[in-house]
Structure 1
Amino acid sequence: MRQSLAALALLTFVGASPALAQTTTTGKPAPDATTSEKSGGQQAVTRPNTDRPDANNPRTTGAATSAKLEEGANSFTEAQTRKRLEDAGYKDVKDLKKDDKGIWRGAAQLNGKPVTVGVDFKGNVAAN
């Protein structure tokens, strides 16, 4: 009985070993692959749906103004929200308040013009 149990255990181990060692290869990265930050690709599911606007390039500024802010539990502090807006090119950020939908809203300047700004829980920045 003991010998049968040992043989069964050995057969189970040997039979399972090839299955445990299998790896599926889905392709190899391009030889000149760059990071998502450099290539503009997605870094994670929660990455903002816009890139930072460039005050010297109106095309990128337009991308920020058309961002759709999403409702959700926002864990950004006021200081983090202010920094995100300043990093996006907005100046003189003030009157930041988190609304009942979890979106930080306030006022700022972009290219010398006053705008209303918002930052959602994902870090998306929008201006209107």
Structure 2
Amino acid sequence: MSRLPILAAALLLLGSAPLSAQSQPAQSGPGNNAVNSSDQNNSNAPVAGRNSFTEGQAKSKIEAAGYSNVSGLQKDNDGVWRGKADKAGTKSDVSVDFQGNVNPAK
């Protein structure tokens, strides 16, 4: 039994399918940011993940979030930069995750 007639019929059906699904414009990007701006977190706790920020970049993110005197930055096993910083006259633990979320320790 030859498969050629079945294959030809399948190709005919595919060739006559409407192009509406193919003519949709592509999105310009995903709906969520991989890296957030300094004034917007997408999480109120650090998110574990592979972190590509350097220590200097992590410090800059913390400072951009209104902290000063950033010290003791270390990247933990979850890829979260953790250290200490001052904000509003109070020294506290602070973190930066791989998405750029800056959070005080809870």
TM-score of the alignment, normalized to the shorter chain, above 0.5: yes
**Retained in 2: the 8 A contact 1:70–1:120?**
yes
Alignment: residue pair count: 88
More strand by share: 2
Cα distance change on mapping 1:98 and 1:19 into 2, 3 Å: same
More helix by share: 1
Q: How big is the shift at 1:44?
A: 2.7
**TM-score normalised by the chain length of structure 2:** 0.65
Which residue of 50, 53, 61 corresponds with 1:84?
Answer: 61
Unaligned 5+ segments in structure 1 are: 1-11, 26-41, 54-62
- Structure scoring higher RCO (CA < 8 A, sep ≥ 6) equals 2
Tell me the C-alpha RMSD between the 2 structures: 3.3
**Retained in 1: the 8 A contact 2:84–2:92?**
yes
Unaligned 5+ segments in structure 2 are: 1-11
**TM-score normalised by the chain length of structure 1:** 0.55
Q: How big is the shift at 1:51?
A: 5.9
Deviations 1:2-31 (A, max 9, x none): xxxxxxxxxx7xx959844x3459xxxxxx
Q: How big is the shift at 1:46?
A: 2.1
Which residue of 80, 83, 101 corresponds with 1:106?
Answer: 83
